């Protein structure tokens, strides 16, 4: 590994040393910054002999993420410049123009600007929270993200893709549904696979209908239910799940691209509202002064 990844040579050497000391590979991956869900995927692949395929899938997801982040930065570069210019103009207005109307009691423009600033700060807070939850990628974090507007459907689709892919791998290894749940529940605690395996296994043990479980679980696509109803052999069912996973990945890519493209128009709308607020901040005191003449 140090030869293949020379920039991380020291890190790899420390990892090898800790592994020789008997430390868990899962714990080491989490300490390196990987999410519990990703670590569980790697564990499943190692135990089932599908590590190369799993790493290819993770590499594709990582590449997609990097491409979309690059596009997002390009989309935000121009609005960011406009926002800086707007802030400079706002400071200028506050320092050199608004002081001319200090004796006036018209504060409508100030209230509008405070409202817009509050909205921007709230947006920054929610964006930071989304980033934190995305980095965790555990069951609770993903559940919270699905409730967020706009990105909720994208997150649900992303999780559907991950789970359908894992189900396909386990079916290919000859796992029954009950064994699959038992196996998943023993994985990294808090990960998507562990939480769902434990939850679904418990519900099946209570005698609940599988159809109802899939329909009520937001992280399992209804299309999976159609595949299970076909009654195919596990090998064919596994191939069908992997094909469904590819279809979900295509849908996921399209949704993310659409989301990224719509970011710039939203930023322009927000900047436009701020510009209107700045004009009102300037014109309202002048209008009030003219009424007093």
Nearest to 154 by CA among 33, 256, 34: 256
Q: Across 6-10, 223-227, 280-284, 286-290, which has the greatest mean pLDDT?
A: 223-227
If pLDDT is split at 50, 70 and 90, which confidence band does 109 have? low
51-67 pLDDT per residue, tens: 777 778 778 877 877 88
pLDDT digits (tens, 9 = 90+) for 179-232: 788 888 877 787 788 888 888 888 888 888 878 888 888 888 888 777 777 766
**Residue 216's pLDDT is what?**
83
pTM: 0.72
Distance CA 18, CA 28 (A): 8
Query: Contact 151/130 with Cβ under 8 angstroms?
Result: yes
Distance, in Å, from the CA atom of 74 to the CA atom of 78, rounded to the nearest integer, reads: 8
State how far the Cα of 282 lies from the Cα of 221, in Å rounded to an integer: 53
Residue 278: the pLDDT is 73
Segment 14-31, tens digit of pLDDT: 777 777 777 777 777 777
* Among 103-117, 141-155, 163-177, 239-253, the least confident range: 103-117
Does the pLDDT at position 248 exceed 80?
Answer: yes
Q: Is the pLDDT of residue 97 over 70?
A: no
For the chain, the structural domain boundaries read 1-33, 35-291
Q: Is 205 exposed, middle or buried (0-12, 13-18, 19+ CB in 10 A)?
A: exposed
Question: Are the CB atoms for 142 and 192 separated by under 8 Å?
Answer: yes
On the question of pLDDT at 140 being above 70, the answer is yes
**Residues 68, 256: contact at Cβ < 8 Å?**
yes
């Amino acid at each position: 590994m140090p030869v293949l990844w020379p920039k991380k040579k020291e890190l790899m050497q420390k990892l090898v040393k800790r592994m020789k000391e008997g430390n868990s590979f899962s714990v080491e991956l989490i300490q390196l910054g990987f999410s519990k869900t990703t670590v569980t995927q790697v564990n499943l692949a190692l135990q089932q002999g599908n590590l190369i395929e799993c790493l290819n899938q993770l590499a594709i997801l990582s590449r997609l993420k990097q491409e979309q982040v690059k596009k997002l930065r390009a989309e935000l570069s121009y609005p960011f410049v406009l926002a800086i210019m707007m802030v400079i103009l706002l400071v200028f207005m506050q320092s050199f123009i608004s002081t001319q109307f200090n004796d006036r009691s018209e504060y409508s423009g100030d209230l509008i600007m405070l409202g817009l600033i509050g909205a921007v700060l709230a947006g920054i807070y929610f964006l930071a929270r989304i980033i934190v939850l995305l980095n965790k990628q555990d069951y609770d974090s993903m559940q919270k993200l699905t409730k967020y507007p706009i990105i909720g459907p994208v997150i649900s689709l992303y999780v559907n893709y991950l789970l359908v892919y894992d189900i396909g791998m386990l079916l290919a290894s000859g796992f029954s549904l009950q064994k699959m749940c038992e196996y998943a529940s023993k994985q990294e605690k808090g990960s998507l696979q562990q939480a769902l395996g434990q939850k679904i296994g418990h519900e099946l043990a209570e005698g609940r209908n599988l159809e109802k479980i899939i329909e009520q679980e937001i992280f399992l696509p209804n299309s999976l239910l159609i595949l299970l109803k076909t009654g195919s052999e596990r090998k064919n069912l596994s191939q069908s799940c992997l094909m469904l996973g590819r279809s979900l990945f295509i849908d996921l890519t399209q949704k993310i691209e659409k989301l990224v493209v719509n970011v710039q128009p939203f930023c322009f709308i927000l900047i436009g509202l701020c510009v209107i607020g700045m004009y009102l901040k300037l014109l309202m005191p002048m209008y009030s002064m003219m009424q007093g003449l």
